[in-house]
Structure 1
Amino acid sequence: MNLRRIVPAAALLAMTTMVTGCGAQQDGQETGGRAPKQVTMNEQQAIDRAEEIIHQAVDGMSPKPTLERIGSLPVGPCIARDDHGPDDRVQVTVAYKLTGVPGSEAQNLVRQARDAWLKQGYKYNSSGEADWSGPFPAVYMRTEPDDFWMDAMTGVVDRAKGEGLASLGVTSPCFLPPEKASASTAADPAALEDPQADDPTRQRALGHSSRIYDALRVGSAPTQPGEGLSTVRDESGTSVHHTWSTEPLPEDERVRALARAQAYFQSAGWNVRHMPTLEGIPAVVARHPEEGTIAQVAASTTGAVRVAVTTPVNGPASADV
């Protein structure tokens, strides 16, 4: 399975809060010999910039589509990071379906989005070469110098007729809002704590991690700094967060492991989406439709595959845990 292929339209239509909680790239990690970059912005600035990038792609389109928002709140935690940055950093993701146009126009809309972004001076990322041989391409790009990542993709509606559904998504770098940065070490110690052993949410998170481990079929690495179990409390509620890594793998094995993870999520009924990454291998992001648990499986710059599972405390118990 080629993870650079686009997701079906059914997955695009099913995405809700999943897109708000999972990052495309990891601010602060070293890439290509550059020093880690610190991003300073507030949530509204990130949302406004993401919306600007969307409208740069859409405003000149013909035929003119209608923007239909995917997901709810655009601000979510930055998860599955490589840099072990502060746990209270956030990330903005804005995504839209392009509706109100014939399904046969989906590829054309993706091309127009790509052309509009190129005119702005934006660049392909390492996984950004679209496959134009078929009717359902996807394009992954990034802005410079502020490093927002975006995609224009098509989901299949009717393969026989060549009809699809286009969508656009923009994800900000991970950032620490100014009010949290100024709080520094004065943060509420209850905001991040170890969950109790008999906590049912803890058991659900570990159960999901265990099944992902079985699906990946590769060995796990010793726990790294910033990994493990924690209970996170913020404005959106309380959740249990579990992160861990596999042993380092060759690139072809990382791709196969991600494909196995995707197959597991799809077979278990999770809503699945791909997100571009600095590593170049799109991450697999999935949301449990009943619990609201979010899982991200991503190739790391270290050669490992990183897994993050975030389970809301007030979510219903999963029947298969």
Structure 2
Amino acid sequence: MKLRKLISVGALAIAMVATSACGAHEGENGDGGATPQHVAMNDQQALKRAEEIIHQAVDGMSPKPKLEQIGPTPVGACIARDDHGPDDRLQVSLTYKLTGVPGSRAKSLVRQARDAWVKLGYKFQSSDADWSKPFPNVSMRTVSDDFWMDAVTGVVNRATGEGLASVGVTSPCFARHASDQPAADSTALRRTPVTPSDARAALEHSSRIYDALQAPHATSDDEEELSTYQDSDGARVHHAWSTKPLPEEETARAMARVRAYFERAGWMVRHISAGSGAPALVARNVKDSTVAQVAPARSGAVRVAVTTRATTAGAADV
């Protein structure tokens, strides 16, 4: 992949959602009705509901795990956005890694999350997980308000069967209102300097994803961004880019190839259905906590965002 030179950090604009899971929530829902594209909620209401669904899955677990949030601020742009049309909707995506329990219990934790959600009447996206697999994943949705959630296992040690579990919830897209702005700004990101070593990790992951997609890279500078930001968890490097528009069948094949790559490489993969067409993927690298999003756009392009932790100590604000 020909990666363009690092752009000015002063032009920081996170082009994708904050890198937890994020689904489109458009098209037909599981009951055959149309899911509304504009939901009457704000970011704080969506975040509160997402936390509630997480705790519904986790609070009754045995052994009791600790929750470690994955990714930066959970409020971000709607991933269902068409690259070639305005869309200022927001979406909440909240993901927690379940820590403090043996890796051999990852499958059990996913099953317990599934059981808790089933008791509440939540529905499977398509079908139950294949529990014959050593690392099953569950994908479900709420009926009343169409939040989507996953309980996911990832491979820590394939030889011993040790895994790692996470749970995540994604809200529907909702309209941005002026009254919401102060709450969204409360998690504002601060720009930080970027070093070549910090940029290298994000670009290397992007290159591997590009190789897996086997799709031509968009040549416009508007389709690629490399930036750094600081949140309460530390400094991160964010690389966002797009492929050229692809035919629908080729998009599906490209998404299948990149998913296969993530699974072979031991990433934790979340499968985010969009109601029609190829689903979006959100993957987490267990070794270095990099989070990658790969999402088909309505334009036919495939959008990619990679976020890595910056290793430079004591990065100053700019």
TM over 0.5: yes
Residues 64 and 20 from structure 1, CA distance in 2 versus in 1: closer, same or farther, beyond 3 angstroms?
farther
1:49 and 2:49 are equivalent in the alignment: yes
Decide whether the 8 Å contact of 1:67 with 1:96 is kept in 2. no
Residues 282 and 45 from structure 1, CA distance in 2 versus in 1: closer, same or farther, beyond 3 angstroms?
same
Distance of 2:268 and 2:111 partners within structure 1 = 24
Aligned to 1:297: 294
Distance of 1:144 and 1:261 partners within structure 2 = 33
Q: Greater CA deviation, 277-286 or 36-45?
A: 277-286
Residues 95 and 206 from structure 1, CA distance in 2 versus in 1: closer, same or farther, beyond 3 angstroms?
closer
Matching of residues 77-96 of structure 1 within 5 Å? 77-78=76-77, 80-83=79-82, 86-96=86-96
Decide whether the 8 Å contact of 1:21 with 1:91 is kept in 2. no
Matching of residues 7-86 of structure 1 within 5 Å? 20-27=18-25, 29-31=26-28, 34=34, 36-61=36-61, 63-71=62-70, 73-78=72-77, 80-83=79-82, 86=86
Distance of 2:280 and 2:102 partners within structure 1 = 28
Aligned to 1:99: 99
Residues 116 and 243 from structure 1, CA distance in 2 versus in 1: closer, same or farther, beyond 3 angstroms?
same
Residues 310 and 136 from structure 1, CA distance in 2 versus in 1: closer, same or farther, beyond 3 angstroms?
closer
Distance of 1:151 and 1:104 partners within structure 2 = 19
Aligned residue type for 1:124: F
Identity %: 43
RMSD: 4.6
Aligned to 1:13: none
Q: CA deviation at 1:53?
A: 0.5
1:140 and 2:139 are equivalent in the alignment: yes
Distance of 1:165 and 1:212 partners within structure 2 = 22
Residues 106 and 242 from structure 1, CA distance in 2 versus in 1: closer, same or farther, beyond 3 angstroms?
closer
Distance of 2:53 and 2:257 partners within structure 1 = 33
Distance of 2:208 and 2:163 partners within structure 1 = 32
Q: How many residues get paired?
A: 268
- Segments of 5+ residues of structure 1 without an aligned counterpart are 1-17, 184-199, 317-321
Aligned residue type for 1:178: H
Residues 216 and 79 from structure 1, CA distance in 2 versus in 1: closer, same or farther, beyond 3 angstroms?
farther
Aligned residue type for 2:281: A
Distance of 1:311 and 1:132 partners within structure 2 = 31
Q: CA deviation at 1:80?
A: 4.3
Q: CA deviation at 1:110?
A: 1.2
Write out per-residue CA displacement over residues 26-47 of structure 1, whole angstroms, 9 at most, x where no aligned residue.
24x4447837521232222112
Write out per-residue CA displacement over residues 50-84 of structure 1, whole angstroms, 9 at most, x where no aligned residue.
111011112222x2312222235442422643545
Matching of residues 141-156 of structure 1 within 5 Å? 141-156=140-155
Write out per-residue CA displacement over residues 64-118 of structure 1, whole angstroms, 9 at most, x where no aligned residue.
3122222354424226435457554332222223333333332222111111101
Q: TM-score, normalised by structure 1?
A: 0.62
**Residue in structure 2 matching 1:274, options 270, 273, 291:** 270
Q: CA deviation at 1:273?
A: 4.2
Q: CA deviation at 1:150?
A: 1.0
SS of residue in 2 equivalent to 1:111? helix
Q: CA deviation at 1:131?
A: 1.8
Distance of 1:122 and 1:148 partners within structure 2 = 10
Distance of 1:210 and 1:50 partners within structure 2 = 33
Q: CA deviation at 1:244?
A: 4.7
SS of residue in 2 equivalent to 1:118? helix
Aligned residue type for 1:298: A
Aligned residue type for 1:42: N
Aligned residue type for 1:283: L
Q: CA deviation at 1:162?
A: 3.4
1:307 and 2:308 are equivalent in the alignment: no
SS of residue in 2 equivalent to 1:117? helix
Distance of 2:169 and 2:87 partners within structure 1 = 22
Q: Greater CA deviation, 37-46 or 155-164?
A: 155-164
Residues 158 and 262 from structure 1, CA distance in 2 versus in 1: closer, same or farther, beyond 3 angstroms?
closer
Decide whether the 8 Å contact of 1:246 with 1:306 is kept in 2. yes
SS of residue in 2 equivalent to 1:137? coil
SS of residue in 2 equivalent to 1:283? strand
Distance of 1:83 and 1:175 partners within structure 2 = 15
Distance of 2:66 and 2:98 partners within structure 1 = 5
Q: CA deviation at 1:158?
A: 3.9
Aligned to 1:111: 111
SS of residue in 1 equivalent to 2:108? helix
